[in-house]
Amino acid sequence: MLPIEPPRAFPMKRDHRWNWRRSATSPKFEGLDVAVVGGTGGIGRALARHMAARGAKVTVVGQTFRDAGTPGIAFLQADLSLMREARRAAAALPAERLDLVIFTTGIFAAPERQQTAEGLERDMAVSYLNRLVMLDELAPRLGGQRTGASARPRVFSVGFPGSGQAGTLGNLNAERSYQAMAVHMNTVAGNEMLVLDAARRYPHVRFFGLNPGLIKTSIRDNFLGKGSLRSRVTETLIGWFTPTAEAYAGRIAPLLLAPDLEAHSGALFNRKGEPIVPSPGLTDAHIREFMAESEALIARTGIQPATA
């Protein structure tokens, strides 16, 4: 079976306790300051372009800028496989003015273990740990200089929440054993826990998790081999049966600004933008332990929490 989506340990469940109302008019992005971390490609790029076309001032963080000359989009270059780069990029963002931050950076674990120059397993570093480092730097500053805003600043983390992954403690850097899917599932679990944890940790900000479902992008290149036959066949099949990144961006854009989200920090949403329930097993104690092990791993690179 091709690794096109996480094994379903748990059928994703709608959260029927609440829903948000779509506004009758299109969402107003004019005058908003937005950062899309991972906004140089795939889903992040589609979201950045959608918002910029509607008047937002968007900074995209990534390695390769593909939107030079597009009005409303500025670029901050960073290799987010490195925690020191994540810290630098976050410090360079004008967090105090930002209305929205969206995290979409990611890869898929390679068939053989890859390690960054800082000694971290590469998928963990790119898809999950840099978000922790960036949040730690950004979250305390978020919204500090916004005036007249009707909502708190919002952070959306794109991953695969609600899919039943609780993560496996004790080998987060995959040094004792390595299996690509198991490693990637730790990034999936980590990203879901990051939202649940941050919602409690930073009450002046609103945090949300987005599960886009399958979308044809470059996310599987590192596993399938960029440009390989396997990759082309997989992405073509995904493209036949699933929405494009642009269609997903258009569908989810109203959610980003919906007033009803204000009272639901920590909420997670499926590919249609409907609320879903968190994965089982994500107890407070488990989240604390997972976060502590993640932070200990980051500390090995010499990056200490900014808030310590």
Ligand X SMILES: NC(=O)c1ccc[n+]([C@@H]2O[C@H](COP(=O)([O-])OP(=O)(O)OC[C@H]3O[C@@H](n4cnc5c(N)ncnc54)[C@H](OP(=O)(O)O)[C@@H]3O)[C@@H](O)[C@H]2O)c1
Q: Which residues bind ligand X (CB under 6 A)?
A: 38, 40-44, 62-64, 78-81, 104-107, 126-127, 158-160, 212, 214-215, 217-219
Shortest CB 295 distance to ligand X, Å: 20
CA distance 295 to 289: 10
Shortest CB 145 distance to ligand X, Å: 26
Q: Is the dihedral of CA 88, 91, 92, 93 positive or negative?
A: positive
Q: Which is nearer to ligand X, 141 or 220 (CB)?
A: 220
> What are residue 62's phi and psi, to 5 degrees?
180, -165
Q: Which is nearer to ligand X, 40 or 265 (CB)?
A: 40
Q: Which is nearer to ligand X, 143 or 165 (CB)?
A: 165
- In this structure, what token pair is assigned to residue 26? 């299109």
Q: Which is nearer to ligand X, 158 or 174 (CB)?
A: 158
Shortest CB 174 distance to ligand X, Å: 17
Q: Which is nearer to ligand X, 80 or 138 (CB)?
A: 80
Shortest CB 243 distance to ligand X, Å: 10
CB burial of residue 251 (10 Å; 0-12, 13-18, 19+) = middle
Buried b (16+ CB within 10 A) or exposed e, 16-29: eeeebeeeeeebeb
Shortest CB 63 distance to ligand X, Å: 4
- CA nearest neighbour of 159 among 28, 280, 55, 37: 37
> What are residue 276's phi and psi, to 5 degrees?
-130, 160
